[in-house]
Each structure stands twice: as C-alpha cells, then as structure tokens.
Amino acid sequence: MPRRARLVLPNVALHLIQRGNNRQPCFFADADYRVYLRWLAEHADASACRIHAYVLMSNHVHLLISADAPAAPAMLMKALGQQYVQYVNRRYQRSGSLWEGRYRSCLVQDETYLLVCQRYIELNPVRAGLVCEPAQYLWSSYCGNAEGRLDPILSRHPVYEAMGADGVARQDAYRGLFREALRPELLRAVRKATNGNFALGSEAFARQVEAALHRRAGPRPAGRLRGTAK
C-alpha cells in the first residue's frame, strides 16, 4: 500500500516527531544533543523553516515548525537526519539506520492547538519522569519560550507573540499555561493526529486542509470492511 503524502501547507504550523530505530537511543552523551541542536539551527535557516518549539529525548525528537514552502520541512529533516546519522556512526563506530524511517507529522490549527502543541512538546520530559519542572530539562525550548533565555534556534509564532505586549508579559503568560497538566483528551488528540498524519484542530480546519490539498485530513469513517459480506 502506498504511503500517504504528508499534509503540509505554507505558513501553517507542523508538529513532527522522529524516533530512533526500534525506539532505540539516538542521543548517547551531552555532546550529541549539542551537535544536533547546532545543526538544527543551521538547517532550519538553510531551508527557511521556523522552529517554534522543540525537545530532544533520548530516543526521539519533537519539533513544532512552520515554513513558507511546503517542501521545506522535508528538506530540513532529510539534511539534518543524514548529517546526524553520519556523525553518530563515526563517533560510535556503528553502521546502519539510526532513525525509525519517515518522521510523523500533523498540521496544527493556530487558534486552538498551537500553544497546546508547544506545551505538549516542552512537557515531554516531565511526563517521562526525567524532571519535575520543564525548566530543569536542558534539551528543550522551554527556557527560551518561558524565561526569555537566548535561544538562536527559536522563532516565535504570532500566536505566542500575541500573548503579551512585551517579552516579560509574554513569558509570564506562557508560564501560566504550565501551571496545569494537559488534559488527557488533548494528549490523545495530539498523538492521534501526529501518528496518523491528520490535521489537528476543528472539523472546519480539517475541511480547509482537505480543500487546499485535495486529500483526506482525518481518519476514515468507521464502516464495513472491504470484502465482507453485506
């Protein structure tokens, strides 16, 4: 069965996840995280992608990005993934695939899910039990978004910028979003959309995506299986 083409639209945020092959580690030392982040910044700039949030876990990566050109996210992930695999194979004297294969992604509706996705990404280390607070984790965008720490990777999304009149106000409002955990239904919605390559948002947003791309943007309706008797 042919793989479904990814849903990508210009200037619409895209949440993507890339896992290590068989969910094995893809980062082995602090130096590996630093190298990946440096190259992420370089390749994002080269491919004209804007990074709004990120987290590097030991065996997978989450990014929230947007770009003017629909092909740009794939260009970013291909160049970054290949360069990082070559680095890991040389450094650790290994060979073969590092990544699971194609990254998974979903288009994100700005008004309702942009900040949900940012929280989902930056709370990943807390949900995994690695830290108690997102600010304690070194390899995420939280301190850049919530505390104003200089982070050359980040490009603030207009939804984030609208949270306050200046940086201090925006950071205070952003930290306020983290005082409560994401509701389980929101976690399920993000995971379902990302794993399924669907649109994450309202039914109207999904219809807009389908009209723009002429492709299905949500799960198929439940119905009779092919080949079954009536």
DSSP string covering 47-62: TTEEEEEEEE-SSEEE
Distance CA 61, CA 63 (A): 7
Joined together, the tokens standing for residue 94 give 């290994």
Q: Does 226 map to a domain?
A: no
- Report the chain's C-alpha Rg in angstroms: 18
Binned at pLDDT 50, 70 and 90, residue 3 comes out as low
Contacts of 85 (CB under 8 A, 6+ apart): 97, 98, 99
Domain-located, residue 229: no
Position 186 in a domain: yes
- CB neighbour list of residue 31: distance below 8 Å, 6 or more residues apart: none
Predicted pLDDT of residue 37: 98
Closest CA to 20 of 121, 88, 110, 76: 88
- Is pTM beyond 0.85? Reply is yes
Tell me whether residue 102 is in a domain: yes
Strands across the sheet with 104-108, in order?
49-56, 60-67, 14-19, 104-108, 199-200
Cα–Cα dist 227/230, whole Å = 9
Identify residue 190 by its one-letter amino acid code. Answer: V
Is there a domain that residue 208 lies in?
A: no
Q: pLDDT class for 229, splitting at 50, 70, 90?
A: very low
Judge whether 220 lies within some domain: no
Model confidence over 153-209: pLDDT tens digits? 999 999 999 999 999 999 999 999 999 889 999 999 999 999 999 999 999 999 999
Residue type, 48: A
Query: DSSP readout, 116-159?
Result: HHHHHHHTHHHHTTS-SSGGG-SSBSHHHHHH----TTB---HH
Whole-angstrom distance, CA of residue 215 vs CA of residue 207: 10
Q: Which residue range(s) make up the domain with 158?
A: 14-201
Residue 67 amino acid letter: A
Is residue 6 assigned to a domain?
no
Number of independent structural domains in the chain: 1
Determine the pLDDT at residue 223: 52
Task: Give the pLDDT of residue 226.
Answer: 44
Q: pLDDT higher for 81 or 101?
A: 81
- For residue 220, the model assigns a pLDDT of 75
Identify the CATH number of the domain in which residue 126 sits. Answer: 3.30.70.1290
Tokens for 102, please give them.
């194609």
Summarize the confidence of residues 205-220 as an average pLDDT. Answer: 92
Residue 79 Cα distances to 74, 89, 184, angstroms? 9, 16, 35
**Within a domain: 216:** no
pLDDT digits (tens, 9 = 90+) for 102-132: 899 999 999 899 999 999 999 999 999 999 9
